[in-house]
Amino acid sequence: AMTGLRPIVEGMNMGFLLLAFNQISNNMGMLRYTSGGNFTIPTVVRGPGGVGRQLGAEHSQRLEAYFHAVPGIKIVAVSTPTNAKGLMKAAIRDNNPVLFFEHVLLYNLSEDIPEGDYTCALDQADLVKEGSDVTILTYSRMRHHCLKAVEQLEKEGVSVELIDLISLKPFDMETISRSIRKTHKVLVVEECMKTGGIGAELIALITEHCFDDLDARPIRLSSQDIPTPYNGTLENLTIIQPHQIVEAAKALKAGQV
């Protein structure tokens, strides 16, 4: 990248990026600054992560929160074929290093995508569905768990505004704040682990920017703080399922939290 190329690095499995943490943090993230702007680092680091189907603890990691504190990098999490293509093109063309998180269980998705050349903004969330009772913020595979939950919630009279964050660094606080001003209630659904996770940082920002607009405390549904079990039943118990999203959203609307 320092010589003018635009490398795209495949992590194969994002858990392996821990072996390159120094290069990503001290080199990719800092060289533009420490060189006084003499170098840009237009690098994309991509690959699958997240909890799969019995891949074991080391191959089921969610590293977005590990890298979230690293200055100088952008982080996106794709969730559909359409935004995967548009975000990849945008990431390659961007002059900053981009961590491009894919999910191992979303590779089998298919859909019609726009014809021709198009890009998606690296710093904008996707308003998936408009609603009036509760705002749900999510990303990556949990977008699809939330869609299943929203289908059930609509039947039970709960109107959900669903937002796919897409950009994990920086957060699109304009879209998030606008939604909270409408619904006054927010639920964060993530596959990241709870302690020090993406949801923790997001709720901190929501408290700073949107406190007066909230009618109830923000709720986060996150994975348990344990290595992901290999056993399939136990694995499912460590991550959030659609029925838990339904229960939390209903409780929020009813003022039971």
Q: Are 250 and 153 in contact (CB under 8 A)?
A: yes
E strand or H helix at 65: helix 64-68
Give the span between the Cα atoms of 190 and 185, in whole angstroms: 17
What residue type is assigned to position 167 of the chain?
S
Give the span between the Cα atoms of 179 and 213, in whole angstroms: 10
- pLDDT score recorded for residue 49: 93
Are 246 and 135 within one domain?
A: yes
User: Is the CA virtual torsion 33, 34, 37, 38 positive or negative?
Assistant: negative
Read off the pLDDT of residues 152-201 as tens digits, 9 standing for 90 and up.
999 999 999 999 999 999 999 999 999 999 999 999 999 999 999 999 99
Could you tell me the pTM of the whole model?
0.96
Read off the pLDDT of residues 214-231 as tens digits, 9 standing for 90 and up.
999 999 999 999 999 999
> Around 24, how many Cα atoms within 13 Å sit in the side-chain half-sphere?
25
Q: Has residue 1 been placed in a domain?
A: no
- The mean of the pLDDT values for the chain is 96
- pLDDT score recorded for residue 160: 98
- What radius of gyration, in Å, describes the C-alpha atoms of the chain? 18
Are 16 and 132 within one domain?
A: no
Give the span between the Cα atoms of 175 and 12, in whole angstroms: 32
Are 27 and 136 within one domain?
A: no
Read off the pLDDT of residues 99-143 as tens digits, 9 standing for 90 and up.
999 999 999 999 999 999 999 999 999 999 999 999 999 999 999
Specify the CATH number for the domain of residue 141: 3.40.50.920
Q: Has residue 3 been placed in a domain?
A: no
Are 130 and 102 within one domain?
A: no
Q: Has residue 90 been placed in a domain?
A: yes
Cα three-residue angle 204-149-216, rounded to 5 degrees: 35
Specify the CATH number for the domain of residue 24: 3.40.50.970
Domain extent, residue 190, equals: 126-253
pLDDT at 254 over 90: yes
- pLDDT score recorded for residue 257: 82
Q: Has residue 245 been placed in a domain?
A: yes
Q: Has residue 186 been placed in a domain?
A: yes
Are 93 and 166 within one domain?
A: no
For the chain, what is the domain count? 2
Q: Has residue 64 been placed in a domain?
A: yes
Q: Are 43 and 6 in contact (CB under 8 A)?
A: yes
| % of the chain residues with pLDDT over 90 | 97
pLDDT at 7 over 90: yes
Q: Are 96 and 33 in contact (CB under 8 A)?
A: no
Are 86 and 159 within one domain?
A: no
Are 234 and 157 within one domain?
A: yes
Please give the order of strands across the beta sheet that includes 167-169: 8-10, 44-49, 98-103, 74-77, 167-169
- The residue out of 56, 76, 106 marking a domain boundary is 106
Are 134 and 102 within one domain?
A: no
Q: Has residue 114 been placed in a domain?
A: no
The pair of structure tokens assigned to 194 is 């709870």
Q: What share of the chain is helix, strand, coil (3-state, %, to 5)?
A: 40, 20, 40
Q: Has residue 112 been placed in a domain?
A: no
Are 84 and 153 within one domain?
A: no
Are 97 and 151 within one domain?
A: no
The closest of 28, 46, 44 to 93, measured between CA atoms, is 44
Are 152 and 216 within one domain?
A: yes
Read off the pLDDT of residues 32-82 as tens digits, 9 standing for 90 and up.
999 999 999 999 999 999 999 999 999 999 999 999 999 999 999 999 999
Are 140 and 231 within one domain?
A: yes
Q: How many helices (H) and strands (E) does the chain have?
A: 9, 10
The pair of structure tokens assigned to 146 is 């939330």
